[in-house]
Amino acid sequence: MRKQNKNTAEEGAKGRFHSELFDWGEALLISLSVVILVFVFGVRIIGVQGSSMEPTLQDANQLLVSNLFYTPEKGDIVILTKDSFMESPIVKRVIATEGDTIDIDFETGAVTVNGEQLEETYIAEPTTTFYDVTFPQTVPEDCIFVMGDNRNHSTDSRYGALGMVDTRYIIGKVLMRIYPLNEIGTVS
């Protein structure tokens, strides 16, 4: 009788171990699936290349980006791609959205949207570099006008090859900087 109780106890322990192991495996598999789904459909990690967003972002910063339920708004920092302009994704700030009229006075460096001068505390210096787009410009439907924060060292919507950007080219809005580690946090 004792031997049978011992076997039953051992079988019970093995059963509990297998059940617990299965539970851990199942939890790990579900967690891994959720992480994969989030990164495939929800957020991406994209690196900054170049100096066009200084002082806000630096070359080699790593950014967490999302396009879930995103509608562009003025002031957002976005990642976009436009193969006819550049093959790799670029990071810029949304200055104007559809229907807005943008004007730039290259002598004073003032940028105005719908007649109101922007207070741009985030820029490196006033906008004095002119490319090939004439102003004022009205942003077409489903488009945005973007500029880098390092205005005089940024190729952006002032340059005809990029111009007004169709919102379908937006990869997503920058949620936060995740590298370098000492600068983790939101950016604005």
User: What are the tens digits of pLDDT across the range 12-35?
Assistant: 556 665 677 777 777 777 777 666
Contact 178, 184 (CB under 8 A): yes
> Can you tell me the distance from the alpha carbon of 44 to that of 40, in angstroms, rounded to the nearest whole number?
7
Q: Using alpha carbons only, how large is the chain's radius of gyration in Å?
A: 25
pLDDT of residue 23: 76
Length of the chain: 188
pTM, entire model: 0.79
Q: Is pLDDT at 175 greater than 60 in this prediction?
A: yes
Work out the pLDDT band at 11, boundaries 50, 70, 90: low
Nearest Cα neighbor of 148 from 70, 79, 66 is 79
> Alpha carbon 24 to chain centroid distance?
34
> Can you tell me the distance from the alpha carbon of 109 to that of 107, in angstroms, rounded to the nearest whole number?
6
> Higher model confidence: residue 186 or residue 86?
186
pLDDT of residue 166: 96
Which of the residues are catalytic?
52, 92
pLDDT in tens, 90-136: 999 999 999 999 999 999 999 999 999 999 999 999 999 999 999 99
Residues 6+ apart with CB under 8 A from 6: none
Q: State the residue for tokens 């900087």.
A: 177
Chain-wide mean pLDDT for the chain? 88
